């Protein structure tokens, strides 16, 4: 997507060196646009842990590139065991996201054909690039399927703006490009359908305020920042036509793990007859789990992410402020699970389906 | 309640001067405990507008003391018209809260018996003091009624902690003393029932993080700060036994206007079979309105309250940081309406009732 008029992906292999992975440092947005170099497996591990990169598709792609960097580091004599350990290291960085384990497994699968270490390194590079390219292609198709939904909404209220609420950032910053939840918004905006996006700030890390607002602004999509508490009030007053979020893991029965607070928005959507749509590439499905509430591990993060808020002062200096008493303890779960019964549709690259096992299997019969 | 071991109310008339109203400056908490003097009607108006004082009961009591200060200012020759204008000024400071108009009306009623300006000033002083004292007495009774509910919960899980979730601050800081939502917590804690409170931070002004966490800490009640997004996840996992919030206005049919986001917690409580309890003194009822969604005006505040977050830096210096791009626009509604159907009980000083017209009228038959 565009940043100050120039096209970027969130991650790419530096073509000159061939062994440096470059990413947009998302901890610095929206106040600074900084490209960060990742040169080894440990750089990648850290970048995922400290959320330099985050988001379902992007951490998958980043893990894939991490496996490539690991292949460059792996000693010829113990290539296989080094790569197995690298896969375990990357998978352990974040517990909830599906794409991480999916990408690592796909890299292992690519390497399983064997070959000399130099051949394996070439295979790893091609496989990581393929994962990144496929992520873009899938997001683009999600956008086209979602566009049909939004166009239908627009037909029902001719001449009026279609109001979409989103939670967290499932934008191009959460993928390699385009995004999942944002893909239909970008497609509708490009198609000339008047859309307006309510952007949940998404406490405690404020990915809505710092990332979604920034990327929608860069693409010129009309949007308004709101507190996470506001969505229910908006829906009660007819100010939301559609909720679209991304997902970090979706079970074979359609339960959706996504950023903490998504469940509350899904409840409000149901209570007010607003469609609740979840957009995800197939790599985010976990076909091994049925019940999301008992089956999906929920990451708990450092409570200081809640107790301290980062931003810039009036003089543009980066600063963090504590918002509670110094001795107040806090807990900080990163995700919640929205039961399938509250989800109106899933949009993935293969099309739109019900959030149910039968619905999902119509698009993914190979998992029956 | 106790502040560093010393008993305070949130508002009182300075006994030495007799014409200075003293309040705890809640915009400075939790980082600084500062007492502010209000010496005239305009000081009171500003203190309510800028949220030096806030909370249902406290803005009522503050408006009452504002009417007393106005009576001191009122010229003898135009006493009545000055007081009428003072009442309009104070009522206009915040649109959603019931207690404001209620307290102003009660002051007008007290003054309606007539008398010379000096007599009227004495009447105004006594009436304001009575409103403040009654607020304390009502909160104390709310605590005793709510204690019965919590004790019943505790009996059902012997030896285990009763987990209560609250949103915003309906604590003693929101009243003259004791609080509405916190009154049952304080009563249970004093009675030796093990309670633990999940404190929603309550964006955008963070009254949970800055006020509720502070006051619970000062009274030694175990509590944990969470993001507003977390409550649904906790309820899904059996970690909340009871939700107790306050209210800014409750209709005769039991619809509850309270801090924005309360509706989302009520939806989650209903979805998980958790009782949703709203605690309020009778002064918060608006018996003139039936439907809260169409009848209660919802205050919209400065969007910078969302775009900028205030706190203290690591070196304890107060600072504000912007969390979104400089050109991002925001909207900031302060309250939402929880429909009566989602409220399990109302607790007021007269007892516990259903959130329905018939339930409310059993306690308030004079409004039938």
How close, in Å, is residue A310 to chain B by CA atoms? 7
- Residue from the list B264, B314, B322 with its beta carbon closest to the beta carbon of A267: B264
3-state secondary structure of B38: strand
Q: Is A321 exposed, middle or buried (0-12, 13-18, 19+ CB in 10 A)?
A: buried
pLDDT (0 to 100) of residue B351: 98
Whether the CB of B314 is below 8 Å from some CB of chain A: the reply is: yes
Are A320 and B320 a contacting pair at CB < 8 A?
A: no
Contact by Cβ (8 Å): A312, B322: yes
- Residue from the list B264, B322, B333 with its beta carbon closest to the beta carbon of A312: B322
The yes-or-no verdict on residue B347 having pLDDT over 90 is: yes
Active site (annotated) includes residue A248: yes
DSSP alpha helices (H): ranges in chain A? 41-49, 56-73, 79-91, 98-111, 117-156, 182-190, 207, 213-219, 231-236, 262-271, 292-295, 304-307, 357-363
Distance of alpha carbon A148 from the chain centroid = 22
Could you say which of A248, A255, A286, A336 is catalytic?
A248
Q: In chain B, what residues touch A336 (CB-CB under 8 Å)? A: 229-230, 232-233, 236
3-state secondary structure of B81: helix
**Average of per-residue pLDDT across A19-41:** 97
Whether the CB of B312 is below 8 Å from some CB of chain A: the reply is: yes
A-chain residue closest to B318, CA distance: A321
**Sequence spans of domains, chain A:** 2-134, 143-367
Q: In chain B, what residues touch A213 (CB-CB under 8 Å)? A: 324-325, 328
B-chain residue closest to A211, CA distance: B324
Q: Each residue of A126-157: b (16+ CB within 10 Å) or e?
A: ebbbebbebbbebbebbbebbbebbeebbeee
How close, in Å, is residue A205 to chain B by CA atoms? 10
Task: Quote the tokens at residue B53.
Answer: 């004082």
Q: In chain A, what residues touch B306 (CB-CB under 8 Å)? A: 201, 225-227
Task: Name the A residues in 48-107 with CB < 8 Å from any B CB.
Answer: none
Q: Report d(CA A222, CA A123) in Å as an integer.
A: 43
Q: What is the CATH number of domain A2-134?
A: 1.20.120.420
Mutation for A interface: B325, B337, B342, B343, most A CBs within 10 A: B325
The yes-or-no verdict on residue A113 having pLDDT over 90 is: no
Angle at A47 between CA A120 and CA A141, to 5 degrees: 70
3-state secondary structure of B27: coil
pLDDT (0 to 100) of residue A280: 98
Are A229 and B233 a contacting pair at CB < 8 A?
A: no
pLDDT (0 to 100) of residue A114: 85
**Average of per-residue pLDDT across A95-117:** 94
Q: In chain B, what residues touch A311 (CB-CB under 8 Å)? A: 308-309, 321-323
How close, in Å, is residue B276 to chain A by CA atoms? 15
Task: Name the percent of chain A lying above pLDDT 90.
Answer: 98
Task: Quote the tokens at residue B241.
Answer: 């036994």
**Average of per-residue pLDDT across B148-157:** 97
Are A261 and B228 a contacting pair at CB < 8 A?
A: yes
Please state whether the predicted TM-score (pTM) of the whole model is above 0.90: yes
Q: Report d(CA A44, CA A93) in Å as an integer.
A: 10
Q: Report d(CA B138, CA B363) in Å as an integer.
A: 14
The answer as to CATH 3.40.50.10470 being correct for domain A143-367 is yes
The yes-or-no verdict on residue B95 having pLDDT over 90 is: no
- Cα separation of the two ends of chain A: 36
pLDDT in tens, B227-245: 999 999 999 999 999 999 9
- Average confidence score pLDDT of chain A: 97
Tell me which residue of B91, B128, B323 sits closest to B206, measured CA to CA: B323
Tell me which residue of B212, B260, B265 sits closest to B243, measured CA to CA: B265
- Average confidence score pLDDT of chain B: 97
pLDDT in tens, B283-329: 999 999 999 999 999 999 999 999 999 999 999 999 999 999 999 99
Whether the CB of A224 is below 8 Å from some CB of chain B: the reply is: yes
Q: What is the DSSP-derived secondary structure letter of residue B191?
A: T
Contact by Cβ (8 Å): A31, B324: no
Widest CA span in chain B: 67
pLDDT (0 to 100) of residue B323: 98
Task: Quote the tokens at residue B192.
Answer: 């030796």
pLDDT (0 to 100) of residue A95: 87
Whether the CB of B238 is below 8 Å from some CB of chain A: the reply is: no
Tell me which residue of A193, A179, A65, A85 sits closest to A129, measured CA to CA: A65
The yes-or-no verdict on residue B114 having pLDDT over 90 is: no
Are A328 and B268 a contacting pair at CB < 8 A?
A: no
In angstroms, the Cα distances linking B269 to A310, B24, B184, B209, B274 are 31, 33, 19, 21, 5
Dihedral, CA of residue B237, residue B242, residue B247 and residue B252, to nearest 10: 110
Could you say which of B241, B248, B255, B286 is catalytic?
B248
């Amino acid at each position: 997507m565009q940043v100050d008029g120039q096209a970027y992906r969130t991650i790419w292999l530096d073509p000159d060196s061939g062994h440096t992975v470059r990413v947009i440092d998302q901890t610095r947005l929206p106040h600074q646009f900084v490209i960060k170099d990742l040169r080894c497996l440990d750089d990648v591990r850290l970048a995922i842990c400290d959320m330099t990169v985050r988001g379902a598709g992007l951490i998958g792609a980043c893990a894939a590139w991490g496996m490539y960097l690991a292949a460059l580091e792996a000693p010829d004599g113990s290539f296989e065991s080094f790569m197995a350990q690298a896969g375990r290291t990357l998978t352990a960085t974040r517990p909830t996201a599906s794409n991480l384990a999916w990408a690592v497994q796909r890299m292992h699968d690519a390497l399983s054909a064997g070959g000399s270490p130099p051949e394996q390194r070439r295979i790893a590079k091609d496989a990581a690039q393929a994962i990144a390219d496929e992520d873009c292609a899938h997001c683009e198709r999600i956008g086209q399927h979602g566009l049909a939904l939004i166009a239908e909404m627009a037909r029902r209220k001719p001449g009026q703006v279609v109001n979409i609420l989103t939670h967290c950032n499932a934008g191009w910053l959460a993928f390699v490009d385009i995004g999942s939840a944002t893909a239909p918004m970008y497609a509708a905006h490009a198609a000339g359908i008047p859309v307006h996006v309510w952007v949940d700030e998404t406490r405690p890390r404020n990915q809505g305020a710092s990332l979604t607002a920034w990327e929608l602004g860069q693409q010129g999509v009309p949007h308004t920042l709101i507190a996470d508490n506001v969505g229910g009030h908006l829906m009660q007053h007819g100010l939301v036509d559609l909720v679209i979020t991304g997902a970090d893991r979706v079970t074979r029965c359609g339960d959706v793990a996504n950023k903490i607070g998504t469940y509350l928005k899904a409840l409000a959507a149901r209570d007010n007859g607003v469609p609740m749509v979840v957009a995800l590439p197939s790599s985010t499905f976990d076909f091994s789990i049925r019940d999301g509430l008992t089956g999906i591990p929920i990451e708990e993060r450092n409570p200081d992410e809640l107790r301290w808020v980062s931003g810039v002062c009036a003089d543009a200096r980066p600063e963090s402020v504590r918002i509670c008493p110094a001795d107040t303890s806090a807990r900080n779960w990163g995700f919640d699970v929205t039961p399938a019964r509250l989800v109106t549709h899933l949009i993935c690259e293969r099309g739109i389906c019900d959030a149910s096992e039968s619905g999902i299997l119509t698009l993914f019969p190979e998992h029956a």
